[in-house]
Structure 1
Amino acid sequence: MAAESLTGGWGCPDGILQEIQINLLECKVCFERFGAQQRTHRPQNLSCGHVLCLECITALSHPLLRKLECPFCRQLCSVDNISQCQVLSDLQELLLYRNPTSTNQSKGKPLVPGGLACKPLHLHSAFGGWGTLINPTGLAVLGTAGTIVVVHDGEKRVVVFSPQGKKLRSFGKRGDAAEEIRYPVDVAVTPSGYVVVTDAGDHAVKIFTSRGNHVLTVRDTFQLPWAVNVDRCGRILVSDVQAGTLSQVQVDYGHGVTLENRTVISDLQQPKAMAVCESTGNIAVIEHSTTTQGSQNSRLTVLSPDFHPLHQIDSFSLSLQFTLRLNTSGVAFDKDGGVIVCDSDQGMICSLGKLQNGPVLTPLAGDHLVRPVGLVSLNNKLIVVDGDHTVKIYSTEPDL
């Protein structure tokens, strides 16, 4: 299969121009297109090298100190040292001159046979942003209503949003106590509504009620707990990137005690992402390793509910088949059991299909993504936590 067909035209000139317009010519804080003619939306260089529109710089800066913390690298920058990014302004004018109607055209999505993306995916909504979320690292969905739970680096580490993106509450105070969270990495929600957080700073798994009351802290033998998910029986699955293990934890939530904590797999290499399929109970684990030549390689393994390997594929073999090398940073299953992965380096989400007869690689979403680090599939939607401090929802339905 040709690379161009896989990327939905991203390799063709018009596709490249659309990518430039989306990924370079809009402010990644307010998502408004840069405008050379509109002063407030002119692209401005910060001293750290990142580019924001003038309106966002004004909104984020201290009115007296005239300084702001860059929302991407967190470097302190002076408003007095900003300058217009003339290169982007010239590029925008050049593209408008080449195709005046291009800014009104929506980017086409490939049609995918079966699974979640049997229809084109559209960016349905985005919420969060710097301040509301700070470097979010994981998300989960609470209940059938689609309430979204995110862990991040804020003062209260767990934030709960409505399906429409309204912030409902936050909990899990930053701190060293057993009921506090030092460094959250991932989050999961049990069928009964308990919120489970991996705390890499405390080498522990911490469990809260949906309202934020601390239930239990599980330490035992964890060295560096990372990804977390819950199987169909409510048992917690935890990967440990330092120990190279996958553990199964059974908890009595009513009494706040651990009933069982056993290692089910012990020969993994930095397992950093995991998902459980609601329809089959299968488990997907993504491992990361470094080759002898120093390049990064990721490996996806799909396990049966009793942890027997079913399918396995790595980024190198994918690149041989599809001329597209994925650095997978997150994984999910669609409702039909197909595997979906996100690539933090290329800012894209792809379907691999069900893998029984080998992967069928099809890009699902790429517009407006900066550095996706995790995703959840819910009905006909993909919910993505992105590196620009936002949660983005992609849907088969048109934008509201």
Structure 2
Amino acid sequence: MSGTGAMDNNMLTISELLETGFIKCSICKSVYQDPRLLPCLHTFCHKCIQGITEIEKPSKSSKNQTESPNQLQTVNGNEEENETNDEKKTGKKMKLVCPVCVSPIEVGITDKKPNEFPSNTFMKDLSDMFDYKHEKERQCEYCKFDGKITSASSLCLDCHDNMCQGCTGAHFRTKVTRTHKVIPYSQVQKGLYDTDIREYQTPTCTKHADEPLNIFCEKCELLICKECKVGNHDDHKWSSADKAVLKYEVQMINLLKGIQQQIPSIHKYVQFLSNYEKSIEGGREKLTNSIKKQADELHRMIDEQKASSLEAVNNACDTERCEIQVRSSNLQTAATSLENNEEYLRQLLKHGKPEEVLTLHREITQRLTQLTHMQMDGITARLKTDFIPGSSTLRNIQTVFGKLSIDHVPLKHSESGLASGSALQISNMLPNVRNTPELILEFNGEGMSDTKEVWPTGVAVTKDDELVIVDRDNKKVKIYERNGKLKQEIHGKGENKLETPFDVTVLKSGDLAVSDHEAENVKLFTSTGEHTLTITDGIKYPRGITTNTKGEVIILDCQLQQVTVHDPKSGALIKTIEGKDTKGIKVLVDPYYITVTPQDNIIVTDTASPNIKVFSPDGKYLANYGHYGMRNDEVLQPYGVCCDHYGYIFVADNQNHRIHLLLPDGKLSKFLLTKTESLWHPMGLALTENGNLVVTEALGKVKIYKYI
């Protein structure tokens, strides 16, 4: 479907929408049968998905790979007998490639059966509605009980039964069913009952038959029925579907706006690539004519050089055209994918019922967040070719024939046709990160008089690359030289004694600011341990602490669920960031650590969501990253966080034993460190002056890695 057509559907009624290709599977070209939603937000019939799925066994040899990529492969008994123990442990995976956006999708297998994709209830209801509105042979379901075959003329929206004229009259005369909504198919086909049909289309619980899904469990983020609520969700916070959908509608609308802004940019860039391809052909023709003219003038003496130069031109131009065609094809595929997503979401938000929106909100939000941060795979340099004819002498054939120049020159941003500040960027100038960071130092954070196991909750680095570690359980701050040798311990004295220190930051003056959440304050010490100031204004239960580029002290309060900014000299409260979204709802639940980007945006890790929240310097809620789990873009317990001067963001995923490396836009780049590198329950993160990553682990290990 073209982009123009997709936008025109914005004005269609639901009856008109049903007559477009919106509810037709792009594989079988028919109206959806049991439609399922893929993670990329494209919908296909359940059988069609099975037809493009293959089983992938653990890698062993090429002969074990499935022969047909377009056919669902089953596992027979012989194959199972030949499996090794390792294969049985690892299991098999199913994989498919979305025919629309070419996204690779893995499907786990449980009990030798593939995990199912969620039913697209919105598309299913529209497909049922399409079926109601078109003539077909329907039989009365009540006459069947008497062994008779009678054509049905009406539909009961309450019972979902087809009835003949006689049974319809009986239906109205029966006390239990006399109030039911019965509609004649002849009028349904004229569109007279569209609103009634949509009103009665309510999803029902798969666990409790015929129970409507009209309650939203806010803790589990699931649409449930009243039986589910009593059984498994009774102690959870819940609300009605009508009320709960408001939050997710706003979120989807905002993400939808981001997609709508990207689609024109992609089309514009595809046009630019098309024009560029044409110019390549024009340049090829011009160069070819110039080379042939010079070759004719020099006759046989330069035939070899002529052939060599033509080959070089053709190779360069063909290579460039191939690159252009590949990128153009990828971008057109991306545009088609985004348009389909955009069209589906507009129709879902316009015509979908709250229950339908809430049923799919998790997959939709995750996919749209990914699309919002999509970067364009464009070109960064233009092919530049030239031919300079040489003088017509026989002294040197190469000199006589001329010099062929083939090179790429940097592409000006204005040439690409993308407006300044476009959401899609051609490239980001970021340094390459090592596949495996180099461990350059490791030591145990033991002190001189520890009475408990070391619990290094906070870490910071001084200008001299000395490491400052907060040992929460031993109630002290430890300072180590750059080689890991213990230099100083700070306990505090008297009323300034540390009670339960949590995190630390180094001020521009060189002083240390330590959050003491049991004492409900932040204490400032010199590097030799002398107390200089206590900050109490505006804070109740401080945890994470950092400084911005101005040198101001930024404190994260987990009880008040807010961030406060203080003057480093007086401790006076400068401003409070309440951590609310555009609707005034607090987004911080159980925040732990805090850091700032080079632009002074504030990043907070929240263990209860769990995810990472980003705020502007003035407190505007900008974005978030991560969901609960163990897969990509998922965290179990986000702890320490830091950001280097390039904009890379590092997040300690404590329970998953890994460090997430995020791009400056919040998109996951990779897992920088995992269990494979012997990482164990990472806690605090910091960066040294020369750009190495410091990681503290539960029970006291301190490790420093070179990652670039």
The 1:179–1:200 alpha-carbon spacing in structure 2 relative to 1, beyond 3 Å, is same
Q: CA deviation at 1:125?
A: 1.3
1:315 alignment partner in structure 2 = 627
Q: CA deviation at 1:170?
A: 1.1
Q: Do residues 259 (structure 1) and 580 (structure 2) align?
A: no
Q: CA deviation at 1:130?
A: 4.5
2:459 alignment partner in structure 1 = 139
The letter of the residue matching 2:687 is: S
2:491 alignment partner in structure 1 = 172
SS, match of residue 668 in structure 2: coil
Q: Do residues 389 (structure 1) and 708 (structure 2) align?
A: no
The 1:166–1:130 alpha-carbon spacing in structure 2 relative to 1, beyond 3 Å, is closer
Q: Do residues 122 (structure 1) and 122 (structure 2) align?
A: no
2:545 alignment partner in structure 1 = 228
Cα distance between partner residues in 2 of 1:135 and 1:310? 32
Q: Do residues 362 (structure 1) and 670 (structure 2) align?
A: yes
Q: CA deviation at 1:222?
A: 2.1
Higher strand share: 1
1:150 alignment partner in structure 2 = 469
Q: What whole-Å deviation, never above 9, does each CA across 1:76-102 have from its counterpart, x for those lacking one?
A: xxxxxxxxxxxxxxxxxxxxxxxxxxx
CA contact (8 A) 1:115 1:337 kept: no
CA contact (8 A) 2:461 2:687 kept: no
1:163 alignment partner in structure 2 = 482
Cα distance between partner residues in 1 of 2:476 and 2:505? 14
Q: What whole-Å deviation, never above 9, does each CA across 1:271-295 have from its counterpart, x for those lacking one?
A: 2111122x32222111232xxxxxx
The 1:387–1:130 alpha-carbon spacing in structure 2 relative to 1, beyond 3 Å, is same
Q: Do residues 371 (structure 1) and 681 (structure 2) align?
A: yes
Q: Do residues 250 (structure 1) and 567 (structure 2) align?
A: yes
Q: CA deviation at 1:120?
A: 3.2
1:7 alignment partner in structure 2 = none
Cα distance between partner residues in 2 of 1:261 and 1:350? 32
Q: CA deviation at 1:178?
A: 2.9
Stretches of structure 1 that go unaligned for 5 or more consecutive residues are 1-10, 18-112, 290-296
Range moving further from structure 2, 125-134 or 304-313: 125-134
Cα distance between partner residues in 1 of 2:511 and 2:432? 27
CA contact (8 A) 2:637 2:653 kept: yes
Q: CA deviation at 1:301?
A: 1.6
Cα distance between partner residues in 2 of 1:349 and 1:126? 17
Q: CA deviation at 1:155?
A: 5.4
Cα distance between partner residues in 2 of 1:269 and 1:351? 23
The 1:237–1:353 alpha-carbon spacing in structure 2 relative to 1, beyond 3 Å, is same
The 1:12–1:345 alpha-carbon spacing in structure 2 relative to 1, beyond 3 Å, is farther
> TM-score if structure 1 supplies the norm length?
0.62
SS, match of residue 380 in structure 1: coil
Candidates 593, 613, 624, aligned match of 1:301: 613
The 1:287–1:208 alpha-carbon spacing in structure 2 relative to 1, beyond 3 Å, is same
Bigger relative contact order, structure 1 or 2 (CA pairs below 8 A, ≥6 apart): 1
Q: Do residues 352 (structure 1) and 668 (structure 2) align?
A: no
CA contact (8 A) 2:515 2:522 kept: yes
Candidates 193, 213, 218, aligned match of 2:530: 213
Within-5 A mapping of 1:50-199: 114-115=430-431, 117-118=433-434, 120-131=436-447, 134-143=454-463, 145-153=464-472, 157-173=476-492, 177-199=494-516
CA contact (8 A) 2:661 2:669 kept: yes
SS, match of residue 373 in structure 1: strand
SS, match of residue 468 in structure 2: strand
Q: CA deviation at 1:359?
A: 1.0
CA contact (8 A) 1:231 1:281 kept: yes
The 1:388–1:117 alpha-carbon spacing in structure 2 relative to 1, beyond 3 Å, is farther
CA contact (8 A) 2:512 2:526 kept: yes
Q: How many pairs are equivalent?
A: 270
The letter of the residue matching 2:562 is: T
Q: CA deviation at 1:345?
A: 0.5
The 1:216–1:123 alpha-carbon spacing in structure 2 relative to 1, beyond 3 Å, is same
Q: CA deviation at 1:372?
A: 0.8
SS, match of residue 178 in structure 1: helix
The 1:120–1:157 alpha-carbon spacing in structure 2 relative to 1, beyond 3 Å, is same
Within-5 A mapping of 1:330-345: 330-345=640-655
CA contact (8 A) 1:285 1:300 kept: yes
SS, match of residue 495 in structure 2: coil
CA contact (8 A) 2:537 2:573 kept: no
Cα distance between partner residues in 1 of 2:593 and 2:515? 12
SS, match of residue 158 in structure 1: strand
CA contact (8 A) 1:116 1:380 kept: no
SS, match of residue 188 in structure 1: strand
CA contact (8 A) 1:384 1:391 kept: yes
> TM-score if structure 2 supplies the norm length?
0.36
Please tell me the root mean square deviation across aligned C-alpha atoms, in Å.
2.7
Q: Do residues 286 (structure 1) and 572 (structure 2) align?
A: no
Cα distance between partner residues in 1 of 2:517 and 2:635? 29
Higher helix share: 2
1:68 alignment partner in structure 2 = none
The 1:218–1:396 alpha-carbon spacing in structure 2 relative to 1, beyond 3 Å, is closer
The 1:237–1:312 alpha-carbon spacing in structure 2 relative to 1, beyond 3 Å, is same
